[in-house]
Amino acid sequence: FNMELQRSEKMEIISELAASVAHEVRNPLQVTRGFLQLLLEKSINKDREYLTLALKELDRASGIITDFLTFAKPEIDQVQLLELADEFRHIEGILIPLANFQGSKITSRIPKDLYIEGNSSKFKQAFINIIKNSIEALREEGQVHIWAYTEQDEVVIHIQDNGEGMEPSEVARLGEPYFSNKTKGTGLGLMVTFRIIEVMKGNMKFLSEKGVGTEVIVRFPAVIQEDPI
Which positions touch ligand ADP (CB under 6 A)? 67, 129, 133-134, 137, 161, 163-166, 174, 179-182, 185-187, 189-190, 214
Q: Which stretch binds Mg ion (CB under 5 A): 15-23, 80-88, 162-170, 184-192?
A: 184-192
- Which own/partner contact pairs does 93-102 have at CB distance under 8 Å and 24+ positions apart? 94/128, 95/128, 95/131, 95/132, 95/135, 98/132, 98/135, 99/135, 99/138, 99/142, 99/144, 102/135, 102/138, 102/142
Q: How far apart are CA 124 and CA 82, in angstroms?
A: 11
84 versus 126: smaller Cβ distance to ligand ADP: 126
**Residue 174 binding target from ligand ADP, Mg ion, none, CB below 5 to 8 Å by type:** ligand ADP
163 versus 189: smaller Cβ distance to Mg ion: 189
**What is the smallest separation between the CB atom of 38 and ligand ADP, expressed in angstroms?**
28
125 versus 134: smaller Cβ distance to ligand ADP: 134
**Residue 142 binding target from ligand ADP, Mg ion, none, CB below 5 to 8 Å by type:** none
Is 134 one of the binding residues for Mg ion (CB under 5 A)? no
Give the torsion sign (CA, 121, 92, 62, 31): negative
Residue from 118, 103, 109, 105 nearest 85 by CA: 109
**What is the smallest separation between the CB atom of 180 and ligand ADP, expressed in angstroms?**
3
Q: Which stretch binds Mg ion (CB under 5 A): 79-87, 104-112, 116-124, 185-193?
A: 185-193
φ and ψ of 4, to 5 deg: -55, -45
- Which own/partner contact pairs does 102-105 have at CB distance under 8 Å and 24+ positions apart? 102/135, 102/138, 102/142, 103/142, 104/135, 104/138, 104/142, 104/143, 104/144, 105/142, 105/143, 105/144
**Residue 161 binding target from Mg ion, ligand ADP, none, CB below 5 to 8 Å by type:** ligand ADP
First to last CA, the chain: 44
For Mg ion, which residue has the nearest CB? 189
**Residue 186 binding target from ligand ADP, Mg ion, none, CB below 5 to 8 Å by type:** ligand ADP
**Residue 214 binding target from Mg ion, ligand ADP, none, CB below 5 to 8 Å by type:** ligand ADP
Is 163 one of the binding residues for Mg ion (CB under 5 A)? no
The residues binding Mg ion (CB under 5 A) are 133, 189
